[in-house]
Amino acid sequence: MSEGSLFFEGKGRVQQSLLRIARRLDELQIPYAVAGGMALFAHGYQRFTDDIDILMTRDDLERMHEALDGRGWIRPFSTSKNLRDAQTGVKIEFLIAGGFPGDGKPKPVAFPIPEKVAIEKDGIKYVNLPTFVELKLASGLSGQNREKDLVDVGELISTLQLPDSFANQLNSFVREPFLTLWRKANVGKRRFVLDLNVAGNRLQDMFDDGIILEGDLQDENARLVTTNPVLAKKYGMEDETESLN
């Protein structure tokens, strides 16, 4: 059976390496969270990847190298922060908390401390979905040749049927890019809108119900949007059919 087939059955070299490194990190009590293609797979969009991305702090990275270098894992070169599984050949790349995705330049979205964003699935810790989407968007918007990160977010939106209100969980830096991708993934679906200046003292209630804001509070052309007809009726929102190219 091909490696690709094994991968999609959850039995590929990458999965073997992920399980091995996760167990060792747990034994060493080193906090971590898996990102990249394997987190994408765990969150529900299954595309092939041949490496592993793991988030940890710089101090824990040093502890990990002291414990693992030459003991089943090797560095590609002496000063590399990354590892290669000596059994499978799979490359393991490390993302450092406090660094910035994409072009590496300072921006409102940074790699977080893993303990604050990790969720566990089948014994392995992954970056939670909102944080993962934020990082993917920040990378895709700023990194050269990182367009696939935006494609991945679009696929997550479609596969998981994420609502537009998911944007409320994201950093404002990537909220509008998420909504742009959401609209592209939902061409022709019914949307209900209301001008912000009409909301009045109902605004907080609308936010609490998951209605999202397109634009910002200082924008006189900003609109409140939902795809939920029940909420639309509750707040007297107008039906809009949007068609995007």
122 and 227 co-located in one domain = no
Per-residue pLDDT band for 230 (boundaries 50, 70, 90) equals: confident
Cα–Cα dist 56/21, whole Å: 13
Per-residue pLDDT band for 244 (boundaries 50, 70, 90) equals: very low
Angle at 152 between CA 146 and CA 153, to 5 degrees: 105
DSSP per-residue codes, 199-212 = HGGGHHHHHHTT-E
Number of domains in the chain: 2
pLDDT digits (tens, 9 = 90+) for 94-150: 999 999 999 999 999 999 999 999 999 999 999 999 999 999 999 999 988 889 999
Q: Is residue 174 part of a domain?
A: no
Sequence-ordered list of residues with C-beta below 8 angstroms from that of 85, at least 6 positions apart, any chain: 13, 17, 20, 21, 72, 73, 91, 92
Per-residue pLDDT band for 243 (boundaries 50, 70, 90) equals: very low
Per-residue pLDDT band for 242 (boundaries 50, 70, 90) equals: very low
Q: Is residue 173 part of a domain?
A: no
The values of phi and psi at residue 153, to 5°, are -65, -40
Residue that terminates a domain, selected from 116, 142, 157: 157
Residue that terminates a domain, selected from 106, 138, 157: 157
The lowest-confidence range among 41-50, 116-125, 222-231 is: 222-231
Radius of gyration of the chain (CA): 21
Q: Is residue 201 part of a domain?
A: yes
Half-sphere exposure of 187 (CA within 13 A, CB side): 6
Q: What is the dihedral of CA 77, 82, 86, 91, to 10 degrees?
A: -110
Per-residue pLDDT band for 75 (boundaries 50, 70, 90) equals: very high
CATH number of the domain to which 39 belongs: 3.30.460.40
pLDDT digits (tens, 9 = 90+) for 28-42: 999 999 999 999 999
Rounded to two decimals, the pTM is: 0.80
Do 241 and 192 meet the contact criterion of CB atoms below 8 Å apart? no
16 and 59 co-located in one domain = yes
Mean pLDDT computed over 186-194: 82
Residue 237: its pLDDT value, please?
94
Q: By residue range, what is the domain housing residue 199?
A: 187-241
Residue 241: its pLDDT value, please?
62
100 and 27 co-located in one domain = yes
Residue 245: its pLDDT value, please?
37
Average pLDDT of the chain, as a whole number: 92
Angle at 125 between CA 30 and CA 94, to 5 degrees: 60
Do 152 and 136 meet the contact criterion of CB atoms below 8 Å apart? yes
Please return the burial class of 74, using the count of CB atoms within 10 Å of its CB with bins 0-12, 13-18 and 19+. middle
